Amino acid sequence: MKTFVMIPTYNERENISILIDKILKLKINGLEIVVADDNSPDGTADIVKSMSNKNKNIHLLLRTKDKGRGYAGRDGFVYCLRHGADIIVEMDADLSHDPKYIPSMIKELKNADLILGSRRVEGAEEVGRSFVRRIVTHFANLYIRVVLGLRVRDCNSGFRCFKKEVLERIKAKKLESRGPSIVQEVLFKAHLKGFMIKEIPITFTDRTKGVSKLGLPQLAAGYFMVLKLKMMHILGLI
């Protein structure tokens, strides 16, 4: 069994090596780590490159065109599938997602096809997030759940563990979100294909180093993408 951990990065030089070391310490069998970096000006890719020179299980996917969290995630998924992944874990680089949950996420794949590290189920916690950010996330979540008809409680979680079949069947290569709405696009398409989705509680800790890339334009594009996904579904295109 090969488990690929796929991490999209943009300007994460203060976080990425700490995260990779934490993941390696888990000693997961058949582990590969793929960092999908959009040629970050802060040199994140150089750090990953030098780590990958010492450890062949660390891969740098350096992207120089079509920047964006969504496109990077899409290419990261495709890379994992092409390199023989059985299980794919997707997570942020900013240490908001603690790798300690990865082994239980993998175990939970016995009971579902897609496991979400969730901030909105019993036992979950959010640490260090501003009130404004919580409110934005709360309403975004409500909107996504209503428009897309999802029963998932945390539709914004980018900490997820997939059986490879999920990414194959939703045609990872054809994912179309440029930005962070890829999170909802993947979730909605997996839901439409009938895959079983399960949430497990996590403690989410807001980043302490580097800055968030989620601004108003990305948020607006995300809301629009959710509507577009709904329209495409109504029209029978997905």
Ligand X SMILES: Nc1nc2c(ncn2[C@@H]2O[C@H](COP(=O)(O)OP(=O)(O)O)[C@@H](O)[C@H]2O)c(=O)[nH]1
Which residues of the shown chain bind ligand X in the complex (CB under 6 A)? Answer: 8-10, 12, 36-38, 67-69, 72, 92-94, 96, 207, 212-214
Burial status of residue 188 (CB atoms within 10 A of its CB: 0-12, 13-18, 19 or more): buried
Q: Which CB sits closer to ligand X, 67 or 169?
A: 67
**Ramachandran quadrant class, 211 (left: phi over 0; alpha: psi -120 to 50; beta: rest):** beta
DSSP secondary structure of 160-171 = EEEEHHHHHHTT
Q: Which CB sits closer to Mg ion, 37 or 113?
A: 37
75 binds, among Mg ion, ligand X, none (CB under 5 to 8 A by kind): none
208 binds, among ligand X, Mg ion, none (CB under 5 to 8 A by kind): none
Give min distance, CB of 97 to Mg ion, in A. Answer: 8
Q: Which CB sits closer to ligand X, 32 or 37?
A: 37
CA distance 45 to 16: 9
Integer CA distances (angstroms), 210 to 39, 112, 126, 149, 189, in order: 16, 34, 18, 34, 31
CA distance 227 to 208: 33
Q: Which CB sits closer to ligand X, 78 or 93?
A: 93
Give min distance, CB of 237 to ligand X, in A. Answer: 26
Contacting positions for Mg ion (CB under 5 A): 92, 94, 96
Give min distance, CB of 75 to ligand X, in A. Answer: 9
